[in-house]
Structure 1
Amino acid sequence: MVVRHKSFDHLGGFYHYRVHDVKTKELCANGYSSLKNYLNAMFSNCPNEFFDKGPRSSALKFKISNLDIKKTKNHEVCKLAENGLNENFERYKTNHSRVQVFMLENDDKTVAMEVPLWLFPNEFKYFNELFKSNWPLTGHIDVLRVEDDKIWVWDYKPNAYLEKFATTQVYFYALMLSRRIGVDLRDFRCGYFDENHAFMFKPVENIKIEKELTDLFGFVKNKFI
Structure 2
Amino acid sequence: MIKQISFKHGWWYFYRVHEPKTAELTTNYPSLKKYLYDMFTDCPHDYFLIEPRSSKLRFNLNNLKLKHIDKHEVTELTKQGHVHNATRYQSAHSRVQMFMLENDRNTLAIEVPLWLNAEELQGYEKLFGTKNPLTGHIDALRIEDDKVWIWDYKPNAKAEKFASTQVFFYAYMLSKRTGIPLDNFRCGYFDAINTYVFNPNTCQFTHTEQETLQELQKGF
Pairwise TM-score range, normalised by the shorter structure: over 0.9
Asked if the contact 2:25/2:143 (under 8 Å) is kept, the reply is yes
Asked if the contact 1:65/1:210 (under 8 Å) is kept, the reply is no
Instruction: Give CA deviations for 1:93-117 in whole Å, capped at 9, x if unaligned.
Output: 1000000000000000000000000
In structure 2, the residue matched to 1:142 is: 139
More strand as a share of residues: 1
In structure 2, the residue matched to 1:53 is: 50
Instruction: Give CA deviations for 1:195-221 in whole Å, capped at 9, x if unaligned.
Output: 1010000002514323478xxxxxxxx
Q: 2:197 aligns with which of 192, 200, 203?
A: 200
In structure 2, the residue matched to 1:69 is: 66
In structure 2, the residue matched to 1:28 is: 26
The aligned amino acid for 2:120 is E
In structure 1, the residue matched to 2:208 is: none
Sequence identity percentage: 52
Instruction: Give CA deviations for 1:71-125 in whole Å, capped at 9, x if unaligned.
Output: 0110000000000011101000100000000000000000000000000001011
In structure 1, the residue matched to 2:156 is: 159
1:109-120 matches, within 5 Å, as 109-120=106-117
Q: 1:93 aligns with which of 75, 90, 93?
A: 90
Matched, 1:4 2:3: yes
In structure 2, the residue matched to 1:217 is: none
Secondary structure in structure 2 of the residue aligned to 1:169: helix
Give the number of the structure with larger relative contact order, counting CA–CA contacts within 8 Å between residues 6 or more apart. 2
In structure 2, the residue matched to 1:185 is: 182
Asked if the contact 2:62/2:219 (under 8 Å) is kept, the reply is no
Asked if the contact 1:112/1:144 (under 8 Å) is kept, the reply is yes
The aligned amino acid for 1:23 is K
125-134 or 37-46, larger mean C-alpha shift: 125-134
Query: What TM-score does the superposition give when structure 2 sets the normalisation length?
Result: 0.93
Secondary structure in structure 2 of the residue aligned to 1:134: coil
Structure 1 distance, partners of 2:113, 2:87, is 27
The aligned amino acid for 1:109 is N
Secondary structure in structure 2 of the residue aligned to 1:34: helix
Structure 2 distance, partners of 1:68, 1:8, is 34
In structure 1, the residue matched to 2:13 is: 15
Tell me the CA shift for residue 44 of structure 1: 0.8
Deviating 4+ runs (over 2 angstroms): 210-213
The aligned amino acid for 1:159 is N
The count of aligned residue pairs is 210
More helix as a share of residues: 2
Structure 2 distance, partners of 1:140, 1:53, is 14
Structure 2 distance, partners of 1:193, 1:16, is 20
Structure 1 distance, partners of 2:132, 2:217, is 23
Structure 1 distance, partners of 2:192, 2:122, is 36
Is there any run of 5+ residues in structure 2 with no aligned partner, and where?
A: 206-214
The aligned amino acid for 1:175 is Y
RMSD: 1.1
> Which structure has the bigger radius of gyration?
1
Structure 2 distance, partners of 1:87, 1:112, is 19
Is there any run of 5+ residues in structure 1 with no aligned partner, and where?
A: 214-225
In structure 2, the residue matched to 1:209 is: 216
Tell me the CA shift for residue 35 of structure 1: 0.3
Query: What TM-score does the superposition give when structure 1 sets the normalisation length?
Result: 0.91
